[in-house]
Amino acid sequence: MTQKITITDSTLRDGMHTVSHQFSPADMAEIARALDQAGMDLIEIGHGDGLAGSSYQYGFSSASDTDYLKAVCDVVKQAKVTVLLLPGIGTKKDLQAAAEIGAKAVRVATHVTEADISEQHIKIAKELGLFTVGFLMMAHMEEPEKIVEQARKMESYGADVVYVTDSAGALLPDGVRARVSALRNAVNIPIGFHAHNNLGVAVGNTLAALAEGATFVDGSLRGMGAGAGNAQTEVMVAALNKQGYLTNCDLSKLIRAAEDIVAPKMSRPQIIDSVALILGYAGVYSSFFLHAKRAAERFGVDALTILEELGKRRIVGGQEDQIIDVAYELSQKQALVR
């Protein structure tokens, strides 16, 4: 097998959820330098919820997008510095500023049924000369045929790659295969896959995506990320090497970066605890992990019950206020029982 695979490391963006968005610019620079020297293709950075994500709603980061970008762009010599933009949070102005500082790529992320809101952002990104990825989140919530419709829209807007994004870590290998295969047969641009590990199958799902023709995949060092985290970059690369795929990554350098640089900076271990497990089982957005825990503590209810109810209501990213509503309702019901 000689297929060349392009890897995006998201330690410095999705991994920000693990540290409550508190990596400093110096932290980011140190980790980005190590990733760059290890041959990483794209290094995604910034607040966990993308450009302009630092807010009361999503949690404040320890520095601004500008500070993070300047710190990383100063040390990265080969990889594409990448940002995430969620329409409705990040704006044209934010994207222009990121490109001026030195970002070379952007991932424009929407819910899996809402690709139409990415049109202006993808077109602006292409005008700015950025490598542009269409990122279809919560891909478990729709069947392959519906995802194909949305992917074709992103392709028509000018996206260079389109991703099947398992934001809830809810997919199993067969579900990944079906979605990636459908896209591979329907669009003329490369297919990517982004995994979360809430059901413990992030690396396995990534291999399933590659087997069906995906050529872009994501990971994060030590598996950092929302919920139970992402596919663990160093583990994923080891698996890709054993499977015979070609990458630009130096496995030994990735292992050292994970063990010596990232691990000491983590505020908590990245594990599949009960809350993360229910995220995947109920199909709830992985970024709700800490929000649900805080709401449970505030209202004296079980975080698992909150997540199960969010899953029943099919709540998605951008509806974080519903976490508080659900927690409050559950606390009132609990009080009546007492």
Looking up residue 326, the CATH number of its domain turns out to be: 1.10.8.60
| Same domain assignment for residues 254 and 296 | no
Question: Distance between CA atoms of 73 and 184, rounded to whole angstroms?
Answer: 33
| Same domain assignment for residues 252 and 300 | no
Determine the structural domain holding residue 158 and report its residue range.
Answer: 6-265
| Same domain assignment for residues 239 and 137 | yes
Question: Distance between CA atoms of 133 and 135, rounded to whole angstroms?
Answer: 6
| Same domain assignment for residues 300 and 214 | no
Residue 111 CB partners (closer than 8 Å, separation 6+):
136, 137, 138, 316, 317, 318
Question: Distance between CA atoms of 20 and 13, rounded to whole angstroms?
Answer: 11
| Same domain assignment for residues 177 and 103 | yes
Label residue 1 exposed, middle or buried (CB < 10 Å: 0-12, 13-18, 19+). exposed
Return the pLDDT at 332. Answer: 83
Q: Domain count of the chain?
A: 2
Coil/strand/helix, residue 287: coil
Question: Distance between CA atoms of 231 and 248, rounded to whole angstroms?
Answer: 17
Residue list for the binding site for substrate = 13-14, 167, 194, 285
Domain membership of residue 78 (yes or no) is: yes
Return the pLDDT at 331. Answer: 82
Return the pLDDT at 305. Answer: 84
| Same domain assignment for residues 257 and 328 | no
Of 294, 293, 283, the closest CA to residue 317 belongs to 283
The DSSP string of 96-147 is HHHHHHT--EEEEEEETT-GGGGHHHHHHHHHTT-EEEEEEE-GGGS-HHHH
Domain membership of residue 157 (yes or no) is: yes
Domain membership of residue 197 (yes or no) is: yes
Supply the pTM of this predicted model: 0.90
| Same domain assignment for residues 253 and 310 | no
Domain membership of residue 51 (yes or no) is: yes
| Same domain assignment for residues 207 and 298 | no
Residue list for the binding site = 13-14, 167, 194, 196, 285
Domain membership of residue 74 (yes or no) is: yes
Question: Distance between CA atoms of 13 and 23, rounded to whole angstroms?
Answer: 10
Return the pLDDT at 184. Answer: 97
Domain membership of residue 187 (yes or no) is: yes
Return the pLDDT at 335. Answer: 67
| Same domain assignment for residues 304 and 187 | no
Question: Distance between CA atoms of 59 and 53, rounded to whole angstroms?
Answer: 8
The DSSP string of 233-258 is HHHHHHHHHHHT-B-S--HHHHHHII
Domain membership of residue 279 (yes or no) is: no
Q: Which residues are catalytic?
A: 17
> C-alpha angle 152/153/159, rounded to 5°?
85
* Element holding 309 (H helix, E strand): helix 303-312
| Same domain assignment for residues 297 and 259 | no
Q: Where are the alpha helices (DSSP H) in 185-302?
A: 202-211, 233-243, 251-256, 274-282, 288-299
Look up the CATH number of the domain holding residue 103: 3.20.20.70
Return the pLDDT at 324. Answer: 82
| Same domain assignment for residues 58 and 185 | yes
Name the stretches of the chain with pLDDT < 70.
1, 316-318, 335-338
The tokens for 5 are 């695979």
Residue list for the binding site for Mn(2+) = 14, 194, 196
| Same domain assignment for residues 122 and 258 | yes
